[in-house]
Amino acid sequence: MEVKEGTVVSLAPNAVYYNGKEMPDWVRNDHWIVKSRNNDRVVLGKNVSETHTINSPVNIAFMTPVSESNTPQTKTETTHPLCQKLQSSVISNNGEMQISERGVELIAKYEGCRLAAYKCPAGVWTIGYGHTAGVKEHDTLPSKDAAKRLLREDLEKYAAHVNKCIQTGKLTFSPTQNQFDALTSFCYNCGVGSLNKLVAGRSAAEVADKILAYNKGGGKVLQGLVKRREEERQLFLS
């Protein structure tokens, strides 16, 4: 059977991305619909249950065609729990998850937007939705759209930390998109060290409960953090 656009393929146990980057087990263990092919370079689009879209190239040598249509195939094993959920994940072309617009909006809601540079409670010059890199006194932004673009750029770094927890196994479960968004929001607010402590060795249910404990600033419970943690938990569990 020829591998072409629309073909459903399975992946070899040793499959990697076309650029040689390691592929997560949950990608290797699923069936994928071919989006396009150029010689040995095959771009995989959605999985057959349509819970994920990766748009990532893989060498055809790692593929075995399963069917010529995108009819979902029955698999006997899977390491990914989303086979039971019709929830789309946002995944970059290198196979890593990215924060969704819903996650961005949650963060923007709690960070607030200021178009002129100001000093945060920690004494750091800040602008937009919590952006600090290179900010100086008297800096300004032209619009909230510009501030939102800065926020999205900043969030790439924090999403990368969550992806690292996934790749290294520090995160003991494969996150849904909502769980990934909640963890990225938490990381942006509390920092990488707190993220590592939050997820290390905990199940998804344990993380959902523990996240509520991070509600203090300067040793005092802050209502803004209480509300943010509660909304992150709700998103995590949805």
Burial (0-12, 13-18, 19+ Cβ within 10 Å), 89: buried
Q: Which two tokens stand for residue 128?
A: 């937009």
CA distance 155 to 205: 25
pLDDT value at residue 85: 32
Q: Would you call 84 helix, strand, or coil by DSSP?
A: helix
- For 101-112+145-237, the fitting CATH number among 1.10.530.40, 3.90.25.10, 1.10.10.1100, 3.20.20.10 is 1.10.530.40
| Number of CB atoms found within 10 A of residue 168's CB | 9
Q: Where are the domains of the chain?
A: 8-90, 101-112+145-237
Let me know: does 43 contact 27? Beta carbons within 8 Å: no
Q: What is the mean pLDDT of the chain?
A: 84
pLDDT, tens digit, for every residue of 105-156? 999 999 899 999 998 877 889 999 989 888 999 999 999 999 999 999 999 9
Question: What does DSSP assign to residue 235?
Answer: H
Q: Are strands 32-38 and 8-11 parallel, antiparallel or unpaired?
A: antiparallel
134: left (phi over 0), alpha (psi -120 to 50) or beta: left
pLDDT, tens digit, for every residue of 44-93? 888 777 666 777 789 999 999 887 654 443 333 322 232 233 344 555 54
CA distance 161 to 237: 21
- Per DSSP, the residues of 119-180 read E-TTS-EEEETTB-TT--TT-B-S-HHHHHHHHHHHHHHHHHHHHHHHHHT-S-S---HHHH
Question: What does DSSP assign to residue 13?
Answer: T
Question: Is this prediction's pTM over 0.75?
Answer: no
pLDDT, tens digit, for every residue of 191-219? 999 999 999 989 999 999 999 999 988 88
2 CA to centre of own chain: 33
Angle at which helix 101-111 crosses helix 177-190, to 10 degrees, equals 30
pLDDT value at residue 88: 47
Residue 15 has pLDDT above 60, yes or no: yes
The catalytic residue positions are 111
pLDDT value at residue 35: 87
